[in-house]
């Protein structure tokens, strides 16, 4: 609002002019001048208030937009990292498959766990849930860690969850 004259400066100028002219006899005119100045100051105050409110709203929008952009950047960076690591994961999968195939040819076997009857010689029960009333033997319901045998001997029992 630098284009507009300062109402306080105008008031001081009018007061000095009135003082120089010796016009002390008309208090109503002075009151009118004061009221006009007061109205002008109130209008300027309202303009500044509106400006401050607009700037506050713009700043809040800026903060929200910046947070959104930062979130998008982080998500994009995570996706790029995952994309770069996919070949490594593929290589691990292929190595595991190739390694297991090679070891199985030499005598390694994976201990079966899906829905089989629990065998304490092959399975290590680490979780238990109640079985059905008609269920006679405990059954493996979930595998926590794969177990292996080597030429019929248990290398590592399968860590399982048992029902019943």
Mean pLDDT of 88-109: 91
Number of domains in the chain: 2
Instruction: Record the tokens describing residue 125, joined without a space.
Output: 């029960």
- CA distances to 39, 55, 101 from 70, rounded to whole Å, are 46, 22, 46
Domain range for 152 is 107-163
Q: pLDDT tens for residues 71-97? A: 999 999 999 999 999 999 999 999 988
In a domain, 60, yes or no: yes
Token duo for residue 144: 């926590």
Residues 70 and 118 in one domain: no
Q: How confident is the model at residue 9 (pLDDT cuts 50, 70, 90)?
A: confident
- The CATH number for 125's domain is 2.30.22.10
Q: How confident is the model at residue 21 (pLDDT cuts 50, 70, 90)?
A: low
Whether residue 70 sits in one domain with residue 21 = yes
In a domain? residue 146: yes
| Max Cα distance, the chain (Å) | 123
Tokens 């029902």, residue located: 163
Residues of the chain with pLDDT > 70: what percent? Answer: 88
**Highest mean pLDDT pick, 47-51, 133-137, 138-142:** 47-51
pLDDT tens for 24-38 read: 558 888 888 889 999
Instruction: Find the DSSP H helices in 107-158.
Output: none
Are both 115 and 156 inside the same structural domain? yes
pLDDT confidence tier of residue 19, bands split at 50, 70 and 90:
low
Chosen domain end from 53, 75, 97: 75
| Residues 120, 67 share a domain | no
Q: Would you say the C-alpha torsion 100, 101, 106, 108 has a positive or negative sign?
A: positive
Query: Would residue 29 count as lying in a domain?
Result: yes
Q: Which residues pair with 108 in a beta bridge?
A: 150
Q: Which residues pair with 159 in a beta bridge?
A: 124, 145
Domain match, 112 and 58 both = no
């Amino acid at each position: 609002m630098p284009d507009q004259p300062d109402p306080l400066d105008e008031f001081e100028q009018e007061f000095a002019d009135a003082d120089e002219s010796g016009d002390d006899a008309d208090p109503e005119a002075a009151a009118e001048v004061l009221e006009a100045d007061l109205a002008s100051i109130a209008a300027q105050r309202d303009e500044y208030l509106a400006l401050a409110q607009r700037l506050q709203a713009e700043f809040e929008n800026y903060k929200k937009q910046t947070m959104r952009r930062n979130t998008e950047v982080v998500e994009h960076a995570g996706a790029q990292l995952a994309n770069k690591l996919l070949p490594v994961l593929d290589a691990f999968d292929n190595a595991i498959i190739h390694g297991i195939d090679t070891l199985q040819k030499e005598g390694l076997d994976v201990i079966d766990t899906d829905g089989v009857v629990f065998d304490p010689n092959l399975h290590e029960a680490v979780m238990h849930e109640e079985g059905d009333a008609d269920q006679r033997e405990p059954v493996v319901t979930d595998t926590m860690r794969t177990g292996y045998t080597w030429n019929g001997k248990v290398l590592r029992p399968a860590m399982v969850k048992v029902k019943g």
